Amino acid sequence: MPETNTTVDERVWERLQDAARGALQHSYSPYSRFPVGAAALVDDGRVVTGANIENASYGVTLCAECSLVSALFMSGGGKLVAFVCVDGQGEVLMPCGRCRQLLYEHRAPQLQLLTVSGVRSMDQVLPDAFGPENL
Ligand code: THU
């Protein structure tokens, strides 16, 4: 099998930002009017996306990262190598704390995140994380 190229260069970030912006159209955010789109590169080269899906019971809202993780599993699983999420203007957005935990569970060891402060590792955005190894 040919080796999958999961090198995360500038082209990958552009592609992921485009995919995240495309995902915005699937957002269901009538309550906050704050659509979020997310996209990630998987360790087999796939790109998965997600958008926030809100609920009249506000706390039941699914963040864009939740639907991204669902898409990850429903399209074959794997581990996340690169991630970005964007706001309704298409600008890079910081994933919320809960979603950093969500991403941590499904990260490849080398997961990188494009953030408002530039490219960061999982450890930088969620230091001393609690994970499966703590159970
Ligand atoms: N939101 C996400 O989808 N992901 C984040 O990481 C930050 C927040 C959504 C949840 C809610 O639908 C809206 O943004 C406003 O909080």
90: domain CATH number is 3.40.140.10
Active-site residue identified among 3, 10, 14, 65: 65
Number of domains in the chain: 1
pTM: 0.96
3 is annotated as an active-site residue: no
Residue 68 resides in a domain: yes
- pLDDT at 2 (0 to 100): 63
The H or E element spanning position 124 is: helix 122-125
**Is 1 part of any domain?**
no
Write down the pLDDT at residue 6.
83
What's the CA-to-centroid distance between 12 and ligand 1, angstroms?
23
Report helix, strand or coil for 122. helix
In a domain, 35, yes or no: yes
C-alpha 46 to ligand 1 mean position (Å): 24
Tokens standing for 107?
């990260």
Question: Tens digit of pLDDT per residue, the chain (135 long)?
Answer: 666 778 999 999 999 999 999 999 999 999 999 999 999 999 999 999 999 999 999 999 999 999 999 999 999 999 999 999 999 999 999 999 999 999 999 999 999 999 999 999 999 999 999 999 999
Q: Whole domain around residue 14: which residue ranges?
A: 10-127
